[in-house]
Amino acid sequence: MIVLVEIIILIGVIACCITQSRNTLGPILAALLILISLISLMLLIYFLLEDIIKEKIEPIPGDFSPHKSYEIREVKSISRCDSPIPAFADDKAIPIFTPPVLAPYPRLPTPPTPITSAPLEKCTTSLSAEKILTPSPVQNMFLFPPASPYVVDFDKVRRDLLAAIDERTIPALEVAIQQAKDYNYLQQLKYESERAFELLNRLMKIEHMKIRVLRLNQSTIAELHSYTKPPEEVSTVMRATFLLLGHTEKEIQEWAQIQSLLGRLGKDSVRRRCYELNPLSIAVFKAHEAKDILRNYDLIRVSEISLGLAAFFSWAVTMIEEREKLLESQRTILR
């Protein structure tokens, strides 16, 4: 309706402009029409704004008065999680229903991927010419890896220990014992190892006593030889020494006989003979006689007279002990 009035007024303004030159009332009429047009335009804008406002507001419920009034209220926007019913901003929020949390089910294990073997090729050779290289699974359970060539046999280590004990030499015993240590057989060969260790200690003690006698100065031997009437300790110790070297009682009964033996040089010297003597070559009865001769003497008493005499005393006692050990071991073997 308002648009139609605007069109009519616009036509009237155009007509007034055409008749302006003919009549003086034309400009007045044109100005009036322009004013009416502006008023109509304002009314049009008002009604348009009213329609827009009606869309944004809601009427008060239960109000049926002809003069409608509207109250503007803020409305919450609806989200996906809220209830579709609008609620006022100052009201209490409606609690949102949350579903119960279910316990997660245990994860099922992933089944193994099936292994697909490659398609078998067609056998080109005959079954008679084919050789089965892989043994059956039952046979594989009882197969053992081949023995390493560097592993020494247990029996060989034991044989070497026993051979070294029979040989009675320090180098052989040291090699055999070291071999048993290297291959960790000392516990398994406990009896043989203990025998080897004991014999090695005895042989090293004998070797030490032999070297002490061998290193005596000729002046020390000459001092013992120079006695006209020697002390009892000198004659007794030297008699026991020459008994162990193989002389009889008649050959060493007098001090002059012992002096004669002490004066020998070279291979027949007493020092050389003591160093080369093997305990196995000593007669058992002579070892017993020498032990009886020396039973009332000790190293301290002998050392007070002469250090050289103390060396001969220590050598004689060590050789007697070794001969008794050998006799005891021989009796054990015979049993």
**What's the length of the chain?**
335
Contacts 24+ apart (CB under 8 A), 192-198: 192/158, 192/161, 192/162, 192/165, 193/161, 195/161, 195/165, 196/161, 196/164, 196/165
pTM: 0.54
Q: Which string of b and e fits 131-149 if b means at least 16 CB within 10 Å?
A: eeeeeeeeeeeeeeeeeee
pLDDT of residue 41: 76
pLDDT of residue 138: 47
DSSP state of 128: T
Nearest to 308 by CA among 243, 232, 204, 233: 233
Hey, which residues does 70 pair with through a beta bridge? 59
Hey, which residues does 88 pair with through a beta bridge? 75
- Residues of the chain with pLDDT below 50 are 64, 70, 75, 78, 81-84, 86-89, 122-132, 134-135, 137-142, 147-150
* Torsion on CA atoms 194, 198, 199, 203, rounded to nearest 10: 150
